Amino acid sequence: MRAILASVALFGVAGCDGLASGSSAIPADTLLAVGEGQDTAAYGQVVSGSVALNAASPPVAFETLAAGPTCNKPKARPGAKAAYVYTYGGGVHVPLQHVSFRDTPEQAEQRRAAVRNLKGLTQQNAMTKEFSAFQAGNAVEWSSRIDVLVTETQAPVFLYLSSYDPILWNIQLAPGASLDGVVVNSYDASSVANGTDAARTALVSFDNSPSSKCYVEPPIRAIPVADRIAAARKMNPDFNPGPYRQQWEQDYRKGQMFNAETRRLIGKLPDWIVTRSADGNGINAILIGPPPAAPFAPQPITRLQIPSHITTFWGSRRDAFKAFGLEEAI
């Protein structure tokens, strides 16, 4: 990855600044993603207000979690309830960015010099500049925030949080709620706010140590082919399932293993399975448990856990490129 970013930096980068002064609050009328069969609720019905993240400085010092020598991760303990979550990405961006390796100031300076020397070359070819800017911009990962609102108070809750994009999982516990453990499984490195003890936490990504074998592809839900065809025909009565039937049959066979796979990952069948948003607009916040009788006040971030294999930057997008030696290309 280090060599890739260095070569990409030779061409240049463009990106929006964003979040110069802080992150956007989650609107009170945002519908929460919930477990299957559970009625959704609005964000403001569960919490009063939203946690603000100032781009000037992180709310607390980073707590770095080192990956163990094996792929073993915590599992739900007896008596705990468990939630399995999968989403491709998150809601609004936060001022947390990273590169997926342990960077050094010397390496950043090398990238800066390389971009400076070849800057004129990039400007000669607009298409090359646009393409390389896209590559370089993606090399600096930019986290999005998802609030996990835990209102279950009858038992500790074990969270298995899975995504493709880097997510800052902001865990908010209602009065009386507690965590049994947290596993974050993502393609790009993710982080946890307001988590639990390191011994009961694992942050695993495709680039994570000891190797990519520790990253788990999200299980596929077993949706009967007839149900998928019926859903497609609701949107288009003339829908022809022919080109899709073979793939959907294959997906269904894989999906039949969903329960066995989630039991293996978590140690039990999950009590909540959250894999889709309530309104089709993406997942910004998740409800684990019943809606409370009255909204509870969100807690400020007092713990911020990141994986050890990345180099983080807290601040604006433009300043992040500067920290990683790419500001010459902006």
* pLDDT tens-digit series, residues 38-61: 999 999 999 999 888 889 999 999
Is position 52 within any domain?
yes
Is position 45 within any domain?
yes
* Mean pLDDT, residues 214-220: 82
Residue-level pLDDT at 3:
43
- Per-residue model confidence as pLDDT tens digits over 124-134: 565 556 555 55
Is position 124 within any domain?
no
Quickly state the pLDDT bin for 136 (edges 50, 70, 90).
Answer: low
Give me the domain span that covers residue 48.
23-96+143-219+257-309
Residue-level pLDDT at 292:
96
Quickly state the pLDDT bin for 30 (edges 50, 70, 90).
Answer: very high
How many distinct structural domains can be found in the chain? Answer: 1
Alpha carbon of 15 to those of 178, 239, 302: distances in Å?
Answer: 39, 40, 30
Is position 102 within any domain?
no
The Cα–Cα gap between 186 and 161 comes to 8
Which three-class secondary structure state does DSSP give residue 68? coil
Residue-level pLDDT at 257:
81
Residue 161 and residue 169 in contact, taking contact as beta carbons nearer than 8 Å: yes
- Per-residue model confidence as pLDDT tens digits over 218-273: 877 778 999 999 999 998 999 999 999 999 998 888 888 888 888 989 999 999 99
**Burial grade of 78 (CB within 10 A; 0-12, 13-18, 19 or more):** exposed
Is position 112 within any domain?
no
Is position 14 within any domain?
no
Is position 130 within any domain?
no
Is position 115 within any domain?
no
Using the structure block, give the residue that is written with the tokens 């089709």: 280
And the tokens for 152?
A: 């279950």
Residue-level pLDDT at 258:
82
318 closest CA partner among 82, 97, 48, 80 = 97
